[in-house]
Structure 1
Amino acid sequence: MKKAGILNRHLAGAVAELGHGDGVLVCDVGMPIPAGPKVVDLSFRAGVLSFAEVLDGLLAELVVEGATAAEEVRDANPEASALLDSRFPNLELVSHEKLKELTAHARLVVRTGEARPYANVLLRCGVFF
Structure 2
Amino acid sequence: MKRAGILNAGLAGAMARLGHTDQVLVCDSGMPVPPGVRVVDLAFLPGIPAFADVLDGLLAELVVEGATVAEEVRAGNPGCADLLAARLPELAYVPHEELKRLSAGARLIVRTGEATPYSNVILRCGVAF
- What residue in structure 2 maps to residue 52 of structure 1? 52
1:37, distance to aligned residue in structure 2 (A): 1.3
CA distance in 2, matches of 1:103, 1:89: 20
CA distance in 2, matches of 1:124, 1:88: 11
The 5 A counterparts of 1:1-129 are 1-129=1-129
Q: Unaligned 5+ residue runs, structure 1?
A: none
- Overall identity of the aligned pairs, in %: 67
Question: Which letter maps to 1:86?
Answer: A
Structure 1 runs, 4 residues or longer, greater than 4 Å off: none
1:115, distance to aligned residue in structure 2 (A): 0.1
Q: How many residues align?
A: 129
How much is the aligned-residue C-alpha RMSD, in angstroms? 0.5
The CA deviation string for residues 44-70 of structure 1, in whole angstroms up to 9 with x for no partner, is 000000000000000000000000000
Question: Which letter maps to 2:32?
Answer: P
Q: TM-score, normalised by structure 2?
A: 0.99
